[in-house]
């Protein structure tokens, strides 16, 4: 089915909530609890994923009373590709195309190089969508992202 993990899915939702808060008021630091409520997710789940996002420096964390999280950059400058990578590691459709030397068949496998090219295409697609885009529920306009694929 070609999917991302639920955690990654939830991460995009939480990031979208953060982005919405970010554009509405300035200095909007939201606690994990608050974010969980707004995203309608469990608190432990939200904390877990926020930790990972903080490590990847996509959000800033503040400890102590009145602490919480805030986007590290503007929504326009955070892409879905970054969120996916933060949650799941390097984008790669197959084991071998993400990490070399993991597959016994690597020496005599003709398709590996082509998978790497497909990965690049998909990474480009993901990089072309920003958090700000995710906020816009009704589609406004369409842009054409040039996507280079070998053929």
Partner DNA sequence: TCTAAATAGTACCATTTAGGTACGCTTTAG
Partner DNA sequence: CTAAAGCGTACCTAAATGGTACTATTTAGA
Q: Contact residues for a copy of itself (CB under 8 A)?
A: 1-4, 6, 9, 12-13, 16, 39-41, 80, 84, 88-95, 98, 104-105, 108-111, 113-115, 117-118, 121-122, 124-126, 128-130, 133-137, 139-151
Which among DNA, a copy of itself, none contacts residue 63 (Cβ within 5 to 8 A by kind)? DNA
CA distance 69 to 83: 15
Distance (Å) of CA 121 to CA 10, 67, 83: 24, 39, 17
Query: Is 115 exposed, middle or buried (CB count within 10 Å of its CB: 0-12, 13-18, 19+)?
Result: middle
Interacting residues with DNA between 21 and 40 (CB under 7 A):
31-33
Rule CB under 7 A: say whether 76 interacts with DNA.
no
The correct pick among 40, 65, 101, 143 for binding DNA (CB under 7 A) is 65
CB of 109 to a copy of itself, least distance (A): 7
Rule CB under 7 A: say whether 66 interacts with DNA.
yes
- Tokens at residue 123, please? 């990474």
Helix orientation angle between 112-127 and 80-88, rounded to the nearest 10 degrees: 130
Query: What 8-state DSSP symbol labels residue 72?
Result: S
In which region does residue 101 sit, left (phi positive, over 0), alpha (psi from -120 to 50) or beta (all else)?
left
Is the CB of 40 or the CB of 63 nearer to a copy of itself?
40
Per CB under 7 A, residues contacting DNA are: 1, 5-8, 10, 31-33, 42, 44-45, 47-48, 50-51, 54-55, 61-69
């Amino acid at each position: 089915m070609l999917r991302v993990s639920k955690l990654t899915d939830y991460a995009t939702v939480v990031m979208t909530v953060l982005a919405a808060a970010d554009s509405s008021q300035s200095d909007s630091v939201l606690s994990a609890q608050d974010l969980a409520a707004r995203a309608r997710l469990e608190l432990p789940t939200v904390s877990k994923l926020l930790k990972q996002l903080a490590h990847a420096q996509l959000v800033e964390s503040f400890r102590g009373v009145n602490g919480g999280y805030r986007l590290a950059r503007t929504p326009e400058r955070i892409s879905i590709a970054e969120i996916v990578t933060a949650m799941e590691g390097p984008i790669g459709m197959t084991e071998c195309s993400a990490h070399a030397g993991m597959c016994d068949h690597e020496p005599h496998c003709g398709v590996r190089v082509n998978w790497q090219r497909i990965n690049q295409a998909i990474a480009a697609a993901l990089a072309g969508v920003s958090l700000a885009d995710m906020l816009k529920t009704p589609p406004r306009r369409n842009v054409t992202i040039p996507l280079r694929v070998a053929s």
